[in-house]
Structures are given as structure tokens and as C-alpha cells.
Chains A and B, each alone.
Chain A
Amino acid sequence: MGKLEVSLEEIRQASSDARLNLTPQEENELKNQITDFFRQVTFLQYSELEKVRATYYPHTQENILREDLVRPSLPLEMVMLNAPDADTDFFHVPKIVE
């Protein structure tokens, strides 16, 4: 594997996918930080990592299942308590114009 080199386009695409606007200055700072980061993280070049399994969870657990029993939902006024824009029973969002 070659060295990882990040481009401004890739950073722009990533921030856009994360629905974040970065200023040109922020983009440049981030590019430099990531470039430094990749330089430091030497293990990204380790080829022997390929055959290692990935660990996504610190421990396995047994209690992820729940019986199919209805529990009370939130009262409507609580549902809407923190809503920035809503009427009594719907959340409002700008129209999806694609």
C-alpha cells in the first residue's frame, strides 16, 4: 500500500457528506493535520495487519434482546418539547428540493 495522501477535494466531499461547511482556512488546517496524522500512524503501512481480525466491541454481551412487549410512548408535548420548529403534532422541515 502506498502512503496515504489526502486532497482538499476529499476533505470537501467528507465535510459535505457530514453536512458541515468548512471555511477554506479550516479545510487547509485540516488537510495539514491529517497529513501529519497519516505520517505519524506508521501502522497503517503494516501489511501483516491484513490477516488480523477487527475488534469493534470491547466485550461480548448476552442481553441485547428484548421481549416484544409494548411500553408507553412519550406524551406528545414531551415529543415536541425540544423541537425547533413544529406544530402540535408534526415536526416541520424545509421542503426537500433536489
Chain B
Amino acid sequence: MSGDKLTAAELAASIKEGALQLTEHGENVSRLCTKAQSEFNIFINFNPNDITKESERLAGKVGSGAELPLAGVPFCLADNICTLELKTTCGSRMLASYRPLTEDGAVRRLKEKGALLAAKGNMDEFGIGAGGRNSFFGAIKNPCNPEHTGGSGAAAAVASGAVSFSLATDRCGELRQAAAYCGVLGLKPTYGRISRQGLIDSAPSMEQAGIIARQTKDLASALSIVCGADPQDPTSSSCGVPDFNALIEEKPRSVKIALPYLWDDLAALEGEVKDAIAALLCRLEGNYFSLETVPLEYFHHASTTAAMISAVEAFSNLSNYDGVRFGFRGESKHLHDMYRQTRTEGFSSNLKKFLTFGALISSGKYYHDCFLKAQKMRSLIKDELEKCLLQYDLLVVPTVPFKAPLLGSGISPLLPDFAAYYTAAASLAGLPALTFPLKDPAQKGGLPVAGLQLIGKAWDEKTLLQVSLLLEEELL
């Protein structure tokens, strides 16, 4: 098959050279997506005709000889990232028919470079971590084993082979967790790297768009395009964006890696995950890497800290869902009752609880005793990580303590099941983090075993990508 094994750059080259016809390629993508959708429920408002139309439009662009490094490369867009032509639902009844009036900056850049938007990815309502089991449009199945969750449509679409990469958001680690569940790569860049204009976010101080892909080179290709300052986004950085495509070809020299002391002291950590990570860590020590354990005092508070901060931010950020200017509206003759009907019927039970939690811990005495303390703990976590990364190039931990959970298992977005235990710290500190998939060769066709998470210095996605490529090409 065409797109599965080729890198994005190779695929684009074969389209530009004419070895692969765009219309034929579009039909292939459409067929793969249709199949993936019917098996795993990974898209929202999926319409194969959109792909056909999009590839026809692209064919014209390719013919015009424009510079298109991603010509025809199919990608999936999580359904909380806006485009002008498609609905954006955030996996919520509230926005089931919402037509955005803005287009995400990153998506615009990808389209300009020839990438083919295949479909919008199914997701937990407003991206709030429930492991892919809290979407108004149904749970997302794992392409490796459909009885388990796929985490997000964006990750599952990549794992299914239907698209080359996905653009999705990461609040407390959802992007990385889903990639680990599906056995693919996931990169959350430094906060501020990719414009947040066009995201429908629920945790503005942590949420950041990132890339999911099967191959490190594809991460680099997409990242080179979507990063960069946006004058419309006050939180985007003017920090220069290197050409990641060129940089990853350089082999890293003597990467100093830190491993938190007692990293595996967690009841929820599954044996298989622990063993796979431990085995890999042993193999890492060698030519390229030096590995040391470091004591981290606050790292283990990250997920609860992030839960509190993201709940308060979500409570506030989702207050514009009031049934007046857009979205679902409940009926009542009185304004404040209308608000209640709208929000009670438009949001899921889980989200309502999460928002109530946010409203609670930002009220009265809880403001000082919970929310403010969480923001203070955030300082300790951030300072500790940054201090550690002054001495080391990377910090490594598992991505998720367990394999993809069963679809029927219970969820609570407050502290789901330690899913964010290892991922939340990088979110709080705004640091880049990459999950690298560990597949157990003995379990062919089964669930991926674990993700190894690499956390880097701010703005140093380069080292994450170089190490990822090294693992991919030489060590595994």
C-alpha cells in the first residue's frame, strides 16, 4: 500500500514526481479512512467525499509547481482544532453543529505546504482526559485491539495507517497517553511553539498542539511547518524555529539522561510496562547515552496539581457555552434557567462534574487552600524540572503506567487512573515531551506495551527528535 511505509517526505516526492497520482492516492486514503472509521470510530462527521474534494483541490496546486513539501500527505485533525470548511465539535453535544469562523494557524500552514486534511479526529469531550471514553460521538477503539481504548481518534488514525500524522492537543498529557496506547510517536512541543489561535482549548496555560506520527522523520516534517510565532497569539513565542528535518540527521553525542529515583514506585504501574521500560533503559546505556538516577521531590504531585489547575481553567474557559451566540441551547423562559438547561443537556455527566470541581476549588476558602496551592506547587515542579535539565539533556519516565484500558472500564476525569501521573509535569512546566512506542515483539498484533517518555529542555525539541530517530533506527 502507498502511504503506510513511506515517510511523509517520500510520499510527497512521489506525488510531485508523478509516480503517484493524487486522485488515485486520494481514493486510497479515502478507502483506508472509511475502513478505519467503521472499525474504530476514530473520526467525527466523517465524509469520504471531503477527501476526494480535498485531493482534487491539491492536484491543482501540485500542477502549479508550488513548493509543497507535504504534497498529498494525509493527516487527521483532532476535532477541537478549527478549520473553516468543517464542523468542529470537541467531542461534545454542545458543539455538535458548530461552524468555526476562524482557522487554526497550524492547519493553515500545513495546507499551504500541500498536506491533505483527511478527517477530524474523535476525542474526549473538550480533550479532558478520559482516555478516549468520553466522547458524545462514542468511544474510540484501539486499532491494535478494538476492545481497548484508542485514547484519541488522532492517535488511532495514525496507528491504523489511514493517515501519516495527526495534529491534536495535549493538556495534561492526553496526546502522549493516546500515542502510547496506540503504539505510535507523540510529541508535545514547548508551550508557545505552535500558535494556539484556532484551538478550542480548555486548559489555556497548559494546552498545546502537538504531532502524532509513526515515524520520527514525519514528526520532524510536520513540526518544521507548524511551529513559529503568531502575532495573533499572545502566548506564542518568537523563539526561532530550526529546520528539524535537517537537524535530526545529526547523531546526538553523549546524551545525558536523568531517571527519577523511585520512578517505578507506583502501585498503578503495570509489571509489563515497568519491565519493558527497565529493559530499554539498560540498552540505552552505551555509546550514545549516560544514564543517572536523580531525586525528584515534587514530580509525583504533578498529576493532581494539573488536575486542579486545569479544572479551574476549564470552568472559566467553558463559561462561554451559554446557548446565546452558538452551540446547543436548552429551553427556558428565564435567562439563568436557560443557561442551566443548556449546560446540563449540552455537557456530559463527567464534564459537568469536572467543571463543578473547578468551580468548587476556585471558590471561597478553597481558592486559597486548593487552587492557589496548586499554582504554588506548579512553581516547585517547574523549578525542579528545569534545574534537573540544566545538568541533563533529557529526563525519562514511562508515558503511561499501563497499557490501553478496556473500553468498558470506569472513568473519572478528576484523577482518572493515574494516566497523567508521568505526563502532567511537562505540561505544568511547558516543556517539550515525546513518547516513543515500545512494542513487545512476542505479542504480535496485540496491544503496545508502553511508551517511553522523553522530557527535554524548553525549545529543545531537536534532542527529543534526534534521540527518537536513534532509538527507531539503531536500538530497537
Question: What is the interface of chain A, defined by CB distance below 8 A to chain B?
Answer: 1, 4, 6, 10-11, 13-15, 17-22, 26, 29-30, 33-34, 36-37, 40-41, 43-44, 46, 49-50, 52-59, 61-64, 74, 78, 81-85, 91, 93-97
Report how far A58 CA is from B382 CA in the complex, Å. Answer: 8
Contact B329 A14 (CB under 8 A): no
Residue among B237, B336, B337, B414 making CB contact with A59, cutoff 8 Å: B237
Report how far A68 CA is from B120 CA in the complex, Å. Answer: 36
Q: Is B21 an interface residue (CB 8 A)?
A: no
Report how far A18 CA is from B75 CA in the complex, Å. Answer: 36
Collect the chain B residues with CB atoms within 8 Å of residue A64's CB: 234
B362 to chain A: closest residue by CB: A14
Q: A40-B415, A54-B372, A91-B325 are in contact. Are A33 and B353 (CB under 8 A)?
A: yes
Q: Is B263 an interface residue (CB 8 A)?
A: no
Q: Is B68 an interface residue (CB 8 A)?
A: no
Collect the chain A residues with CB atoms within 8 Å of residue B379's CB: 52-55
Distance in angstroms from A63 CB to nearest chain B CB is 6
Distance in angstroms from B195 CB to nearest chain A CB is 11
Contact A49 B377 (CB under 8 A): yes
Q: What would be 23 A-B contacts, judged by CB atoms less than 8 Å apart?
A: A4-B366, A4-B370, A14-B357, A15-B352, A19-B340, A20-B340, A20-B352, A33-B353, A33-B415, A34-B360, A37-B304, A41-B301, A49-B377, A55-B375, A59-B237, A61-B234, A63-B234, A63-B238, A74-B101, A82-B99, A83-B324, A93-B335, A96-B334
Q: Which of B308, B319, B332, B335 has the most CB of A within 10 A?
A: B335
B191 to chain A: closest residue by CB: A58
Collect the chain A residues with CB atoms within 8 Å of residue B323's CB: 84
Distance in angstroms from A94 CB to nearest chain B CB is 5
Distance in angstroms from B328 CB to nearest chain A CB is 7
Residue among B235, B315, B327 making CB contact with A84, cutoff 8 Å: B327
Contact B355 A61 (CB under 8 A): no
* Total CB contacts across the A-B interface at under 8 A: 172
Q: Is B289 an interface residue (CB 8 A)?
A: no
Collect the chain B residues with CB atoms within 8 Å of residue A20's CB: 340, 343-344, 347, 352, 355-356
Report how far A54 CA is from B319 CA in the complex, Å. Answer: 24
Collect the chain B residues with CB atoms within 8 Å of residue A1's CB: 369
Contact A4 B237 (CB under 8 A): no
Q: A18-B315, A26-B353 are in contact. Are A95 and B99 (CB under 8 A)?
A: no
A78 to chain B: closest residue by CB: B101
Contact B376 A49 (CB under 8 A): yes
Q: Is B326 an interface residue (CB 8 A)?
A: yes
A51 to chain B: closest residue by CB: B376
Report how far A37 CA is from B360 CA in the complex, Å. Answer: 13
A23 to chain B: closest residue by CB: B349
Distance in angstroms from A4 CB to nearest chain B CB is 6
Residue among B305, B340, B363, B415 making CB contact with A13, cutoff 8 Å: B363
Q: A33-B414, A44-B369, A82-B98 are in contact. Are A22 and B356 (CB under 8 A)?
A: yes
Report how far A45 CA is from B212 CA in the complex, Å. Answer: 38
Collect the chain A residues with CB atoms within 8 Å of residue B378's CB: 54-55
Collect the chain A residues with CB atoms within 8 Å of residue B305's CB: 43
Distance in angstroms from B329 CB to nearest chain A CB is 4
Q: Is B338 an interface residue (CB 8 A)?
A: yes
Q: A17-B363, A19-B336, A19-B340 are in contact. Are A63 and B349 (CB under 8 A)?
A: no
Q: Is B373 an interface residue (CB 8 A)?
A: yes
Q: Is B23 an interface residue (CB 8 A)?
A: no
Distance in angstroms from A28 CB to nearest chain B CB is 11
Contact B327 A10 (CB under 8 A): no
